[in-house]
Structure 1
Amino acid sequence: MVDTFYKLQGWRLRFPVMEYIDFSNNNIKVLPMIRDYEMTSKTTKSVVIIDLRCNITSLTKGMIDSFSTDEFVKVDITKNPFLCDCGIIRAIEYLSSKTMPKAYDYLGSLECANLSNVRGRQLLSLSLTELNCNTDTVIHFPIFFMSIITITLFVITLLTIYFRNLIKVILFTRLNINFPCEFRNDINEEKDYDSFIAYSEKDVDWVIRIALPKLESESSS
């Protein structure tokens, strides 16, 4: 198995007295939001254990939040081959500062499987120096991602404004999309006809010297 998302949708409502689900020794990498659907001691007498040992390699704050708040569910993520690199720093800081339910006291004793220099060490005993990280190199991914999107949209907007006339021409000639007419205040000019010329840059001399004078002359029809 590679995920548990669909298998855990509404599971507690259908099996209120279930006590154990074994997902250990699979290929599950991401934990779903595990809920007890507000079960109470009146609706269930059991605390179900969801066994996710020997699956995941990474641990994040979001993963911890996904399972550590429900009273009638306990998720076991011990014996997982956690990769202890800069990406796990936020999870370590979160575990160090947050008071977990008693059922999750074991989170403080989780150990690293990789990298080799910290193999067998408890997560909470690690320092930024040992992981070759510092606070400047630990990336805030949501902020980084939003910054990239903002910069990209800004560049696209600038390019759209700069090439707006060319874009109008391409949309009209290629996709037959016509923008609303733009008002032009041409003083003392009354035009009976409008002309649109699409031409190659190689023909610009011919257009200016021959085509335009011919179109604009009174004798042209």
Structure 2
Amino acid sequence: MTEARTTYKRVLLKISGEALMGDQAYGLHPPTVQRIAREVQSVHELGVEICMVIGGGNIFRGLSGSAQGMERSTADYMGMLATVMNALAMQSALEGLGIHTRVQSAIPMDTVSEPYIRRRAVRHLEKKRVVIFAAGTGNPYFTTDTAATLRASEMHCEAIFKGTKVDGVYDKDPKKFPDAKRYDKITYDDVLQQHLAVMDASAIALARDNSLPIVVFSLDEPGGFRGILAGQGTYTIVRG
């Protein structure tokens, strides 16, 4: 009954590394990781196939490292390793809730994760395992936003769910401007032309080329992820 009411059958959840920090200045906040894991669990219980991409900004940011004189490629690889740490933390939290989870890394590290193999990842999803894609695309100069869009396209996901601190896409920062306007729907081209902070331009363009909707919602809203999949809640959908 519940599964039949679900809007989507396979989705990718993209969250930033900063989402795992809680109120800390950096690092992982275990209660926050557990809370997000429970949000994923609530959707998993609907029968939805879920894969995830988690950023690494709570541990290391490649761009800021590069700005301080570090060679860009090296800084980006360090950021990719940070995403593996976050993926392992989320895997531990999900498996603590009884959800079978696999981490697949674009940078081979067989001791802690599987290598990224598309067919294997699809098979995991079909078996209702949560798959966490780590290490971005495995290449410097590409963000985890782009990695999320790439993996969602390869997995034939029906949508990307971008969990943020706000309940959708606004024309300006709602925390700084009380008159900020929230969009219920917006096109990929409008996001690019207005330079809206949804995902980076490469990710938006890739989503547009593959007709992949992006649902932007608040990760801080309890039950928000599950609510949207049941056709409720407040969010912005980006599509053509």
TM-score if structure 2 supplies the norm length?
0.22
Relative contact order, higher structure (CA 8 A, sep 6+): 2
More strand by percentage: 2
TM-score if structure 1 supplies the norm length?
0.24
